[in-house]
């Protein structure tokens, strides 16, 4: 997600995450932002469909969406809260306010209210 956010900078990056039946993330789909904008994103619908097909073929389920804030923190904006249509999905934001030290945070967004979900990282953090 962070690499995709860096690659797409200064535009917002976006994508989807798939998990196995145990809830473990198995795939990060880095998708095209059809808006090509630094202030909004729309996941390319064809790529969304292909990600859903791939996940299903592997016995996974799409469980989260991610996007970046190229010039801001990893906090849901009013637009993020308003457009969070999948109440069972986790929404992950990559904040690029400090590009050398990106911030990744996740939220459950239901009825316009965001509740942060702590993330657990394995590895060296790069």
| Within a domain: 123 | no
Please give the residue range of the domain that contains residue 100.
Answer: 2-117
Domain contains 90? yes
Domain count, the chain: 1
Structural domain contains residue 122: no
Q: What is the 8-class DSSP label of residue 13?
A: P
Distances (CA, A) of 92 to 17, 50, 58, 59, 75: 9, 20, 22, 22, 9
Q: How confident is the model at residue 120 (pLDDT cuts 50, 70, 90)?
A: confident
- Is 126 within a domain? no
In this structure, the dihedral spanned by the alpha carbons of residues 8, 9, 12 and 15, taken in order and rounded to 10 degrees, is 30
Q: What is the CATH number of the domain that holds 63?
A: 3.40.140.10
46 within a domain of the structure (yes/no): yes
Question: Per-residue pLDDT tens for 83-97?
Answer: 999 999 999 999 999
Place of tokens 């196995």: 20
Query: Is the pTM value of this prediction over 0.85?
Result: yes
Asked if residue 125 belongs to a domain, the reply is: no
Q: What is the pLDDT of residue 43?
A: 96
User: How confident is the model at residue 124, as a pLDDT?
Assistant: 45
């Amino acid at each position: 997600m962070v690499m995709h956010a860096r690659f797409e900078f200064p535009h917002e990056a976006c994508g989807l995450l798939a998990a196995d039946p145990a809830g473990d993330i198995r795939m990060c789909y880095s998708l095209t932002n059809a808006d090509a904008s630094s202030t909004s994103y729309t996941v390319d619908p064809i790529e969304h469909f292909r990600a859903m097909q791939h996940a299903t073929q592997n016995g996974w389920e799409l469980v989260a969406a991610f996007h970046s804030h190229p010039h801001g923190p990893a906090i849901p904006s009013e637009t993020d809260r308003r457009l969070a249509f999948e109440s069972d999905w986790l929404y992950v934001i990559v904040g690029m306010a400090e590009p050398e030290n990106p911030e990744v945070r996740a939220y459950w967004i239901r009825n316009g209210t965001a509740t942060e979900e702590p993330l657990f990282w394995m590895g060296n953090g790069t």
